[in-house]
Amino acid sequence: MFEITPDFLLMLAEFTFAYAICVISPGPDFAMVVRNSVMYSRRTGMFTALGTSLGLIFHATYTLIGIAILIKESEWGFTIIRVLGAGYLGYLGISSFFKKPVAFERMAHLDDDIKHLPASEDLTAFQAVRIGFVTDALNPFCMVFFISIFALVLDVNSTLPVKVFFGAEIFILALIWFLGTAWIFSNKQIRQQLARTGTWFGRITGSVLFYYGVKLALTV
């Protein structure tokens, strides 16, 4: 295993907070979980949530391996990655802060446009997981996202057990969030209530992402 030191706890806290903020920001995976929860069923939405979480593990795994190789082979290469990551986090923060929060507003009215299908036409568990997985696995921004976050908090001396621990955390946090999303957005009244908080939601997450972008830029 690994030793739980103050440095590790600090890295864990920073990673958890930064990752959680990014995960709850609405993106293609969020939209797909909501869509399947509304169009098919809460069960299908939850299996879609499982698939999206597995897709994030896919990106996190090869990103961790790639960064580990880059750190070993090229200090300049890793510095470039950190600079690009800082710019990406800053961009996400600014766009989230100022962009009109249409995501929640549109999702509040999904029932108006989607025809509910009978149970016999619902997706199978495998189909729902596959849709969720492909949505994240084919999203190139997930790669940039993980490069940014890992460049921000990754200790160059991190051992394999530490990396496995963070990989497990990535999966568990994403699964909890998306399962909750499937449960909440399969209820029309709750979805409409959340739509009213979209403006402040975007401003809060945007501010935090921008802060991490600046912090990463200042540490390169």
List pLDDT tens digits, range 1-57: 567 788 788 888 888 888 888 788 777 788 788 778 877 788 999 999 999 999 988
Report whether pLDDT(132) > 60.
yes
| Least confident residue range of 70-74, 91-95, 139-143, 210-214 | 70-74
Whether 62 maps to a domain, the answer reads: yes
* Helix, strand, coil percentages for the chain (3-state, nearest 5): 85, 0, 15
105 vs 27 pLDDT, higher one: 27
Q: Are 19 and 212 in contact (CB under 8 A)?
A: no
Whether 112 maps to a domain, the answer reads: yes
What's this model's pTM, rounded to 2 decimal places? 0.70
Whether 170 maps to a domain, the answer reads: yes
Among the listed residues 6, 2, 8, the one whose alpha carbon sits nearest the alpha carbon of residue 153: 8
d(CA 14, CA 81): 19
Task: Give the contacts of 69 (CB within 8 A, at least 6 positions apart).
Answer: none
Whether 1 maps to a domain, the answer reads: no
Q: How wide is the angle at C-alpha 65 spanned by C-alphas 79 and 6, nearest 5°?
A: 70
Range(s) of the domain holding residue 51: 6-218
d(CA 100, CA 102): 6
Task: Give the contacts of 35 (CB within 8 A, at least 6 positions apart).
Answer: 110, 114
What is the domain count for the chain? 1
Query: What percent of the chain has a predicted confidence (pLDDT) above 70?
Result: 64
Q: Are 131 and 51 in contact (CB under 8 A)?
A: yes
